[in-house]
Amino acid sequence: MRIAIMQPYIFPYIGYFQLIKSVDKFVFYDDVNFINKGWINRNRIIVNGMINYFTIPLKSASQNKIIKEIEYLDVKKIIKKIDQAYKKAPFYKEVMPIIERCLLSDSFYISDLAAKSVICVSEYLDINIPFYFSSLINPGNNGKSRVERLVNICNLCDSKIYINNYSGNTLYAKEDFAEYGIDLHFLKPKIFKYRQFNSEFESGLSIIDVIMFNEKELIQHYLNQYTLV
């Protein structure tokens, strides 16, 4: 049983969805500290041929708070920005209602909104796996190390294979998890190039950019274009 554990990001890049596609269970790591200028409440899209950030406004955000405690504010300006940026994209009509439905959520917390953005896009791409929140399945982490917390989640989900984002290889060592009987791997995505209006291609943008410019079947193919190391 394979598992991935990641902080909830708002409409993350395609590598995040490759990670989801590679596992049997996915856990949103929502009870760790918020990171300023990270990807939890912001991402990058193309606006008038240039890379541009969209940022979900937050209420009293702080790195001293855990992600699930932080509320977000009005998102109507974000919806308008995305709408104007991609109105002429080939799959705008199919995709924009999904984005609007996600952002016009009844939730108050950025962790829920970010998780919903991931789940909505996963459903659109026909990725059918269960999603969980670490705060619900593994409460009470006082005194535990980073590795111990992740190992506990793996054990509670009956998973002995833990797949992490490739950047995680600077934080975690396979030997540390092997001590607990967990087999750690890192997913390294292959670059997925496609046409972005008439602009020079920019990689690593929000999944919004990917689904606006590419048919679903092609994206589904590229979800499997990665290596595990």
Q: Tens digit of pLDDT for each residue in 197-209?
A: 988 899 999 999 9
Q: Quick one: DSSP state of residue 171?
A: T
> What are the E-state strand segments in the chain?
2-6, 25-28, 42-47, 50-55, 58-59, 71-72, 131-133, 161-165, 183-189, 226-228
The contacts of residue 142 (CB under 8 Å, 6+ apart) are none
Q: Tell me the percentage of the chain whose pLDDT exceeds 70.
A: 98
Statement: residue 72 has pLDDT above 90 = yes
Q: Is 112 in a helix, a strand, or coil?
A: helix
The band of 195, judged by pLDDT with boundaries at 50, 70 and 90, is very high
Q: Tens digit of pLDDT for each residue in 142-182?
A: 668 999 999 999 999 999 999 999 988 889 999 999 999 99
Q: Residue 14: how many CA atoms within 13 Å on its side-chain side?
A: 28
pLDDT at 142: 65
Task: Please check whether residue 176 is in contact with residue 146, taking contact to mean a CB–CB distance below 8 angstroms.
Answer: no
Q: Tens digit of pLDDT for each residue in 93-145?
A: 999 999 999 999 888 999 999 999 999 999 999 999 999 999 999 776 666 89
Q: Tell me the percentage of the chain whose pLDDT exceeds 90.
A: 88
Task: Please check whether residue 174 is in contact with residue 154, taking contact to mean a CB–CB distance below 8 angstroms.
Answer: no
Q: Where are the domains of the chain?
A: 2-228
**Polymer length of the chain:** 229
Whole-model pTM? Answer: 0.95
Task: Please check whether residue 186 is in contact with residue 228, taking contact to mean a CB–CB distance below 8 angstroms.
Answer: yes
pLDDT at 65: 94
The contacts of residue 123 (CB under 8 Å, 6+ apart) are none
